A and B are shown apart, each in its own frame.
Chain A
Amino acid sequence: MEDSILLEVKDLKTFFHTEEGIVRAVNGVSYTLKEGETLGIVGESGCGKSVSSYSVMGLVEMPPGRIHGGEILFRGKDLLKMNDREISAVRGRHMAMIFQEPMTALNPIMTCGDQIREALRIHTRLTKTEQDARILGLLKEVGIPAPEKRMNAYPHELSGGMRQRVMIAIALSCSPSLLIADEPTTALDVTIQAQILELMKELQKKHGMAIILITHDLAVVAESVDRVAVMYAGEIVENAPVREIYRNPKHPYTQALLQSIPELGKRDKKIEAIPGRVPNLMEDIPGCPFANRCKRAMDICRSEKPELKPVGEDHLCRCLLYNDGSDNTR
């Protein structure tokens, strides 16, 4: 069970068809996730980290979105080939998602208890009393004080941290095997963020679920995940175990990102900005999309697209610097 593959995404392409043109939000993304593993997908706004996970959940609005290719295998079955009924049976039951802003994700005119009940009603056959007991148990499990009272509270009566806990309770209601967390702590204060990350770790240990953590925050990722996939302009540019990413980053973008964040207590660290900004995803970039901001760009980078290739044990990188198989370290 431990090492079996839960989710395999192969060459996923999700484009948005807008009036101005086609936005290649996710442009050939592949990764695998083992049972019980935590994968961090890191990148800046517009890199496609959220859209790639929304595609897995089947939450991309179509139109304007359209999946142009690829496979999403959940325990070996391609979600993209399932009909709506089959998808709904997987989504919510085996996969669940929590969002950045719990206030907009929760229904403002429904009590917290009823929102959990909704998930239970759709995916389980519990009686009303059994549901009540399960709701109470879930609220207690996610650390909500006085759950009997909070069950009947509306989302606006709770703080941001409490709302995120309710979201997690809803996501956990059917004991999913995969939890996708989209910037779950970005809207929260650091002390509350620490509480929520701790809670997610605890619950993962207890339920053995796999987690995809989507975030822009390299520090949050460092503390919470087993593997990291770094995304840039709709593509994964580097994918490796978390220690490897921080000890031995290969892609110039990953290196630049790590160099651009101040670290508490490390005042000697030389902080460097990344010049320029992310490319327009409507343009079809002929070479590497990072080339125009890259310190180590070569002529070939502007004309040839690099592929995601192994650069070490269990370490993939999409960069022409490593094309000949040799390890051109910094």
Chain B
Amino acid sequence: MTTPVLAVTSASKRFAGVRALEDVSIELHAGSVHALVGENGAGKSTLIKLITGVYQLDSGSVRLRGEEVAFDSPRSAQRAGIATIYQEVHLAPQLSVARNFFLGREPTRFGSLDLKRMNRNSAEALRRYGIVADVKRPLGELGLGIQQMVAIARAVETDASVVIMDEPTSSLEPREVDLLLDLVAQLKAKDVAIVYVSHKLDEVFRACDTITVLRDGKLVSTGPTSELTRRQLISRMLGRDAAELDESGRTRLGRRELEDGEPVLRAEHLNRRLILEDVSVVVRPGEVVGLAGLLGSGRSETAKAIFGALPLDSGDISVDGKPLTHQTPASRIRQGVAMLPEDRKAEGLIPDMSIRDNIGLAALPQLTRSGLVSRKRVDDIVKTFMTRLRIKAASPLQRVSELSGGNQQKVLLARLLCLNPRVLLLDEPTRGIDVGAKAEVQALVAELAEKGMAVVLISSELEEVVEGSDSVVVLRDGAQLGRLVGDDITEDKIMDLIADAASEQIEASEQIEAEK
């Protein structure tokens, strides 16, 4: 085996005491495409940022062509021949394509930009990668896909020996994805070592030679693509061993008979170009519907769409038979929809405010009488919820930032519950909280459903979806693969659905390729 171009050995990184990456090693070889896969928070971005000098290692080492390196900034990594393409590529929208293409390494003549050369060379380079664009036009006037392709071509043209692509296809049309994979093949032929981060399985299997799976900041497996089945890959990403899985059956206990009532939530034929394709979720009173799928499958997007936070191109959503109108969270809240967001710190809580104020914030509109808030009524409500949800805190006045993750999550839940919602959308309700709190939150969700609420549950842990749901909608690439009910809800069946769809798609694209 040849010496790797780049080798990361036992890399570890913690942020404020929280493990982001632990003892991870990977090797990149010239002319080989290395896939990095894993769910949110698996450590993919951290690993990339350690290689490219955005973060510094706590322990471990990075070797470039056998020599140990420690980049202190993306700039020095770039000088050493490591080019990175990030998801966010919007640079200077006002500048022309050619200028963006040469940004940071412009050719000059007598101190002045050599515009002729920039225009000619960038047009040639883009054409080589199959991109036809007027290089004199401002980048911002072109479509997002083209902008992404320009960014990629730009990074690639720097004579890099290592090219890292962080979800390069997330905003691309299918046709553009083909172009991009062609580009990857060209780079491979030029003996470049490529890291390809993606959660789209068909791309990974089509383009990559080696697959490394990360989970919770640890290395799960690394090996040649040919030795891995789709099914194995999915189970490694979602957190169960294939062998272990074959024995695991249905785990949900105490399943209740659901009353046949009119559905509380009816969200049908949700469409949003490139994000959701004809997804339908129907929840009867007391039912918990799980949304299962890989990262980027549209599971969070479906919840966001129902909550009005993701504008839809088309779709019908009604609660208790009444169609919902305005696509804004504020109006959805008034119409009885509540959502627990995936990232509670960024979207949910105000950390420096007290428990009381965080809960009271949401309840305010109901409690306000002629513009004034009755302190006593707020206190009563807060106390009721703190007991009901068993929030452990010194007092209602304690700051939320001082609470544990599990208790923070309960505060957020309390805030949603005091609105008396009919529909509760829970996106990763147990992420980042300890085992005990997790069980409590799960029990609470079941209890809420029993009282007649309609609950939509999203989790990247299949086990949680299987155990907590009365029916499961399985998604992939924004499309609905199937709906499982009763005893059909098993981790096995869900993974089969996802894996089958993946291989079908690959066969289809291989067929198209062959016809060409």
Partners in one complex: no
Chain B residues with CB under 8 Å of chain A are none
Chain A residues with CB under 8 Å of chain B are none
